[in-house]
Amino acid sequence: MGQSTPNRTALAGLCALAVGVLLNFLLAEHHAGLLQAAGCRVDGVMAVTNNDGYYHLNHARLFAAQGTPLAGLWSGSMLLSRLLAFLGGTDIPSLLAASAPLGPILGLTMLLAVLPWAMDTKAPAVAVLAPLLALLSPYWIDRTHLGAVDTDALAPFLAYASLYCVMRLSIPSRRLAWAAGYAALLVLQWLWWKPGAFLAAGFLGCHLLHWPRQRGDATVKLTLLAAIACATALALARVWPFADWYDYTVAHISLAFGGAEGALLSNAIMELHPLTLAELGDRTLGSAWLLLLLPPGFILYAWRFGWKSLFLLLPGAAFGIFALLSRRFIPFFVPAAALLTVYCAVEVCRLLAARMDAAASGWKLGRYGALAVFTVLLFSGAGAKAVEYAPESYFSSPDFTLAREMKQAFPQDTLIWTWWDYGYFYQFLTGMPVYFDGGSQTDASCFVAAYPLMQSDQRTAARWIRYFASHRDAALDLSRRGKQWPQYVTELMAGMREKTNGTLSVALCLPARVYTTVGYLYAFAHVFDEHPPAVANHLDLFEKGDFRHDRDAGAVVVPQAVMDKGYTGFGSVLDLTGKEPAQFDFAALPDPYLTHSGNTDFLAVTDRAVVRSVLFRLLGQYRADPTFFEPVRAFGLHTGGLWRVVDTDENALHTPGAREETNLQSNKS
């Protein structure tokens, strides 16, 4: 339980690996049944469940189509995509079959991220329990379950393996071998996930802080400091490639932590949201209270290993702080958190048992009994969550149906206009280009995509979409953001009259989930205004259920789901059947509006900012008008909708002459 022979510790490590493999297999088998029951399949094959997975699938198909899936290995961090191309080729079912199991398989590397550090403690209990606690981290299971495909699955192992090599460099023996291992891992991270290479390079800072024991150590540290100073100077002097590396690092840090320039974009990406301490403990270790063991574990580990401990404690503490600011960093915090938590529990058991006034047999019974109790406590939260966890695909069965219908109803060169988190998905399943995706989303591209949907004039919205569909590289003049922005947008729309490609096929695809993010669409449509609005809810949709409206009596009965959402009253109840937005004086009608229609089987609760927008009109509650948006699949509450964006021969662009004609020219609404 305390220090042990190397053979016992190694055996404990092997047990951890064996148990971990078994647990992951059982979880994968369980998750397969749940995902199949949810309809997460394409042509009978398990589908990939996360957005970024389709990014790798898109590139894999491209590499395979070129006939050289492993060629150009050194260009970009595309190793995962090239591996998938090698395994799956260009066939969609084959690529999905090769991709779906990668999450659980690569997820096992979490064991290897923890195991070397755990074995260094010479405590068999730590070598067994710490890797397994990390493997069962709720957030880790969520990122590596069956169907989840991303570089995350290997990133913690590569990071902690690099860190371990740096730690071993501080020990005189076999330095050259550890340096070679570190260099190899650095190259692998560059090919796998480029930010990981910069992260691993930063671990050299721990080596600089480690107290030198030999004369040669000081020389190495001074040389390293000089190299860092030179690289920094070259980056600031804008010398290639150092300037590019600097810009790349700053851009990723700004996005990850919500820099002022990309605050709205960071807020729109769930994995970049901050956490509370309780949430961090719950998602990392399965129980918030286990975080209480981290400070004493930190102290005990530092006391035991002295200066050597900073190689784990300093990055581990940094990852914990980063995870509080952005949950993206939880996987990097998991290994250190699991190790220190288990180390604290084992050391407490050892210290308590050592103070027991009993015979040797009683001492052993107390020692192992205490450890058994701690083991149950350590794994109760994570174990229960692992059993209860049901993986959810970001994409629903109707989303796959929309992809099939696009392939059937549109020519292959059609451009798909959808929100960015569906970009990779529809591009892979249809083979059609998209306006933007999860790798090209910026404030500017989000504005371009959201602006027409928030317009009140359908002609303007259709022309805007068709213009940017045929001029995808068109740049906005962001120097005019602020007071000049409304005038700039008016000038931009006026210039679109003769520049729209009338032959280009454009599909507007709005899955049901997009209608749950209208607050972001509205905010992005105003992101360059003088006073950008905060993200707020502007639309909720509900099944009609037992809805009744007695206009004469002024009485309305709504489904329980409406009240559960927090609505206790409405400014106006509107029947939109067969009507146009212009028939309502929304400036005089108080909101929120509860709207219903004989054309639809759902209710909507919205406000003055959205009720006249194209996005809202496409719900189908108003009188149908297919002039500019021809329905291929009319909007359904659980399916979303698909429309053909129609070109018009009329040259006169119906731009809103007055600010009140569009709810995007100002924030007054």
CA-nearest of 181, 160, 147 to 111 is 160
Tell me what pLDDT residue 537 has: 94
Tell me what pLDDT residue 212 has: 64
Mean pLDDT of 521-526: 96
CA-nearest of 273, 505, 277, 292 to 410 is 505
**Lowest pLDDT segment from 15-29, 154-168, 174-188:** 174-188
How many whole angstroms separate alpha carbon 145 and alpha carbon 635?
32
Q: Quick one: tokens of 601?
A: 């089987």
Determine whether 319 is exposed, middle or buried from the number of CB atoms within 10 Å of its CB (0-12, 13-18, 19+): buried
Q: Quick one: tokens of 307?
A: 């200066």
Mean pLDDT of 177-198: 93
Its CATH class, for the domain covering 397-531+611-661, is alpha beta
Outline where 136-258 has alpha helix (H).
138-144, 155-169, 175-192, 194-202, 204-209, 215-236, 242-256
Tell me the pLDDT tens digit for each residue of 242-287: 777 777 777 777 766 654 445 777 777 777 789 999 999 999 999 9
Cα torsion at 347, 348, 349, 352 (round to 10°)?
Answer: 120
Tell me what pLDDT residue 246 has: 77
Per-residue confidence band for 207, with pLDDT thresholds at 50, 70 and 90: confident
CA atoms within 13 A on the CB side of 560: 0
Tell me the pLDDT tens digit for each residue of 617-656: 999 999 999 999 999 999 999 999 999 999 865 434 444 3
How many whole angstroms separate alpha carbon 542 and alpha carbon 140?
33
Residue 70 has pLDDT above 70, yes or no: no
Long-range residue pairs from 307-314, CB within 8 A, at least 24 positions apart, any chain: 307/210, 307/211, 308/167, 308/170, 308/210, 310/206, 310/209, 310/210, 311/163, 311/164, 311/166, 311/167, 311/170, 311/203, 311/206, 311/210, 312/117, 312/163, 312/167, 312/336, 312/339, 314/206, 314/209
Which residue type sits at 433? P
Domain ranges for the chain: 6-47+100-388, 397-531+611-661
Q: Quick one: tokens of 302?
A: 């530092």
How many whole angstroms separate alpha carbon 198 and alpha carbon 186?
8
Q: Helix axis angle, 109-120 relative to 6-37, nearest 10°?
A: 160
Averaged pLDDT of the chain: 88
The DSSP bridge pattern shows strands 555-557 and 593-596 to be unpaired
Tell me what pLDDT residue 507 has: 98
Portion of the chain with pLDDT greater than 90, in percent: 70
CA-nearest of 446, 435, 444, 448 to 496 is 448
Q: How far is CA 24 from CA 15, 20, 387, in A?
A: 14, 6, 12
